[in-house]
């Protein structure tokens, strides 16, 4: 008699939990047994539902603001709900919007990614985030040293067209000739990953003739800076306005903390990267992670791949009271299209 669920929940309890979550998400008001028995299409009376709801509360899936109120899902309840959710189908208009977006899209992945966050946020009405490929894995396709007036520009081009740059003051003794020679030397960074390049640049510095040592030291420093900096930065964001809507029942203070975290980027990166570990979708709900707990937020993220190798991730942030089905379906669809694109764009091996 174990039923078809995973875990220990009977099928009717599942149905009740599902009804409560969906109704609560729709209205934002605690849900009563009457409502569930009416809308839930279970053939039982409200009294029976009451018993089930009491049991679900006991199990930690529902909570009670006060005696005479209905029930709302807990974070654990949402989790349970999400885990038992069958994969949804995208609605036609949304499918179309996504298709159109990817149809007219350009060749620059980073640009596409930014557009994709806006697409996602307008489709879901939540804020959207994306993390491009981790720069540490990027290979250098071109390395140059450019003289700009009193400065030197160290310019690295990743194999997918991403640019890494650093400006530095030109050392006193960096004559045109030395700069030229150094420029030739750093061409040897081509083909290396950023991490390898940082090492190699240090090696170049120590092996260089004295008149180029200063300048190559600068380069080494710059490559290292670039590597560190771009490791932390670069979360693309869209639709943050959606964090401040009536639908969201957040306190002003919560919105503030969330906006600040988005600006800091690193926390968001952590949450997005969880998706890369996951096969498909990763859903983080409220207290399941310190960050989301602090914001009463949920993050739905998915990785996208180039061929088989993970290339980045994209997702949304919204309140724990979120339309998970739509969110998951939409994020999944967009991530899938991004994978297609990334695969097509990648140099054939």
Residues making contact with DNA (CB under 7 A): 12, 29-35, 43-48, 50-51, 53-54, 57, 64-71
Task: Say which entry of a second copy, DNA, none residue 167 contacts (CB below 5 to 8 A, set by partner kind).
Answer: a second copy
Subset of residues 246 to 285 that bind a second copy, contact rule: CB under 8 A: 246, 252-253, 255-257, 259-260, 263
Q: Which of 240, 297, 300, 322 binds a second copy (CB under 8 A)?
A: 240
Instruction: Please report whether residue 167 would count as binding a second copy according to CB under 8 A.
Output: yes
The three-state secondary structure class of 133 is coil
Task: Say which entry of DNA, a second copy, none residue 2 contacts (CB below 5 to 8 A, set by partner kind).
Answer: none
Our measurement of the distance from residue 282's CA atom to the centroid of its chain's CA atoms, rounded to an integer in Å, reads 10
Plot region of 194 (φ>0 → left; ψ -120 to 50 → alpha; else → beta): alpha
Nearest to 18 by CA among 55, 62, 59: 62
Token representation of residue 222: 């710059």
Subset of residues 128 to 157 that bind a second copy, contact rule: CB under 8 A: 141-142, 146, 148-151, 153, 155, 157
User: Which residues, listed in sequence order, are joined to residue 318 by a DSSP beta bridge?
Assistant: 298
Report the nearest approach of a second copy to the CB of residue 201 (Å). 18
Q: How far apart are CA 108 and CA 163, in angstroms?
A: 12
Q: How far apart are CA 56 and CA 9, in angstroms?
A: 9
**In this chain, which stretch among 16-24, 245-253, 309-317, 335-343 interacts with a second copy, using CB under 8 A?**
245-253
**What is the per-residue DSSP string for 33-71?**
HHHHHHHS--SS-HHHHHHHHHHHHHTTSEE-SSTTS-B
Q: How far apart are CA 187 and CA 199, in angstroms?
A: 14
Report the nearest approach of DNA to the CB of residue 64 (Å). 7
Size of the site for a second copy (CB under 8 A): 44
Subset of residues 168 to 207 that bind a second copy, contact rule: CB under 8 A: 168-169
Instruction: Please report whether residue 243 would count as binding a second copy according to CB under 8 A.
Output: yes
Sheet of 127-131, strands arranged across = 236-238, 127-131, 309-319, 297-306, 282-285
Report the nearest approach of DNA to the CB of residue 325 (Å). 23
Report the nearest approach of DNA to the CB of residue 55 (Å). 10
Task: Say which entry of a second copy, DNA, none residue 70 contacts (CB below 5 to 8 A, set by partner kind).
Answer: DNA
Report the nearest approach of DNA to the CB of residue 323 (Å). 21
The three-state secondary structure class of 166 is strand
Q: Which residues are within 8 A (CB) of 229 and not within 5 positions of it... i.e. 6 or more apart? A: none
Report the nearest approach of DNA to the CB of residue 76 (Å). 18
Report the nearest approach of a second copy to the CB of residue 168 (Å). 6
The binding site for a second copy (CB under 8 A) comprises: 106-108, 111, 141-142, 146, 148-151, 153, 155, 157, 159-161, 163, 165-169, 238-246, 252-253, 255-257, 259-260, 263, 345-348
């Amino acid at each position: 008699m174990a039923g078809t669920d995973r875990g220990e929940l009977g099928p009717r309890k599942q149905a009740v939990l599902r009804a409560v979550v969906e109704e609560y998400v729709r209205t934002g008001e605690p849900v009563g047994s009457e409502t569930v028995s009416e809308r839930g299409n279970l053939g039982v009376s409200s009294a029976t539902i009451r018993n089930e709801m009491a049991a679900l509360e006991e199990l930690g899936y529902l909570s009670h603001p006060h005696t005479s109120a209905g029930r709302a899902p807990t974070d654990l309840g949402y989790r349970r709900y999400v885990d038992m959710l069958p994969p949804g189908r995208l609605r036609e208009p949304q499918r179309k919007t996504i298709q159109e977006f990817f149809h007219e899209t350009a060749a620059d992945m980073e640009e596409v990614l930014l557009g994709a966050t806006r697409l996602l946020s307008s489709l879901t009405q939540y804020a959207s985030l994306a993390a491009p490929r981790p720069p540490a894995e990027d290979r250098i396709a071109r390395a140059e040293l450019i003289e700009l007036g009193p400065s030197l520009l160290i310019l690295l081009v990743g194999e997918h067209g991403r640019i890494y740059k650093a400006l530095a003051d030109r050392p006193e003794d960096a004559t045109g000739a030395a700069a030229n020679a150094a420029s030739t030397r750093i061409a040897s960074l081509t083909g290396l990953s950023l991490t390898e390049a940082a090492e190699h640049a240090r090696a170049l510095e120590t092996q260089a003739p004295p008149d180029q040592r200063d300048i190559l030291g600068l380069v080494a420093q710059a490559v290292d800076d670039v590597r560190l900096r771009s490791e932390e930065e670069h979360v693309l964001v869209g639709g943050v306005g959606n964090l401040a809507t009536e639908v969201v029942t957040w306190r002003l203070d919560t919105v503030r903390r969330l906006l600040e975290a988005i600006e800091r980027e690193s926390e968001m990166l952590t949450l997005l990267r969880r998706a890369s570990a996951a096969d498909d979708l990763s859903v983080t709900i409220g207290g399941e992670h310190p960050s989301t707990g602090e914001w009463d937020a949920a993050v739905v993220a998915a990785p996208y791949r180039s061929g088989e190798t993970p290339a980045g991730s994209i997702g949304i942030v919204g309140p724990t009271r979120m339309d998970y089905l739509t969110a998951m379906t939409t994020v999944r669809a967009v991530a899938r299209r991004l994978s297609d694109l990334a695969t097509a764009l990648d140099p054939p091996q």
